[in-house]
Amino acid sequence: MLARKRHPFTVQDYHRMAEVGILHEDDRVELLDGEILEMSPIGSRHAAAVDYLTAWLSREVGERAIVRVQSPIRLSLYSEPQPDLTLLKPRSDFYASAHPGPEDVLLLIEMAESSLDDDRDLKLPRYAEAGILESWIIDLPGQRLLVYREPVGRKYQSIQEYHCSGNIALRAFPWISLDLKTILELD
């Protein structure tokens, strides 16, 4: 039996598929390691938590950063995921000329209502490998925040878990801290 050879899609291939109508704007897919993967549907609690954090981050960081919601980050030639929230270095063109890369990311947040395994096992290693300095996974059913810092290879060296109470400071803006209760107890 012949071994099957896989053909990984590049980010350019992926964008071309959208241009010619193979992929549509409302398709919930992202590109990881050359594979086009379907994303989980967004539940109401997930959407509310993203909306809350978007408003909070926008208010807290002001013009010191750009808050992006469910938009692509180009990690490599073969990976362009769409994290739930990304805090980016400010740029006058708001990244109109190209999607941001890992060097532009100040904080990346994944909201996990039904996607914890995928976020942690598939996406997080790629974020670490790309050098994203700080990634959060907000585990809504588990009512906890997982904070990943200090990427080395495909792993983060510092992993902290926070539960329903307390505050967590942003690495990029240590004077800004999130009251975990406000996000973890949204219903």
Kindly state the average pLDDT of the residues 27-53: 90
Instruction: Provide the residue count of the chain.
Output: 187
Percent of the chain with pLDDT over 90: 69
CA angle 84, 86, 62 (to 5 degrees): 125
User: pLDDT at residue 177 above 70?
Assistant: yes
CB neighbours of 153 closer than 8 A, spacing ≥ 6?
Answer: 128, 129
Yes or no: say if 157 and 170 are a contact pair by the CB < 8 Å rule: no
Highest mean pLDDT, choosing among 5-9, 147-151, 174-178 = 147-151
Q: Which residue has the higher pLDDT, 3 or 155?
A: 155
* N-to-C CA span, the chain: 53
In this predicted structure, what is the pLDDT of residue 187? 62
Q: Where are the domains of the chain?
A: 41-184
User: pLDDT at residue 30 above 70?
Assistant: yes
In this predicted structure, what is the pLDDT of residue 175? 94
Residues 21, 33, 37, 71: is their CA dihedral positive or negative? negative
Kindly state the average pLDDT of the residues 40-44: 86
In this predicted structure, what is the pLDDT of residue 183? 77
In this predicted structure, what is the pLDDT of residue 2? 64
In this predicted structure, what is the pLDDT of residue 1? 57
User: pLDDT at residue 114 above 90?
Assistant: no
In this predicted structure, what is the pLDDT of residue 163? 86
Q: Which CATH superfamily is 41-184 part of?
A: tt1808, chain A (3.90.1570.10)
Kindly state the average pLDDT of the residues 24-38: 90
How much is the mean pLDDT over the chain? 91
In this predicted structure, what is the pLDDT of residue 102? 97
Each residue's pLDDT tens digit, 61-101: 999 999 999 999 999 999 999 999 999 999 999 999 999 99
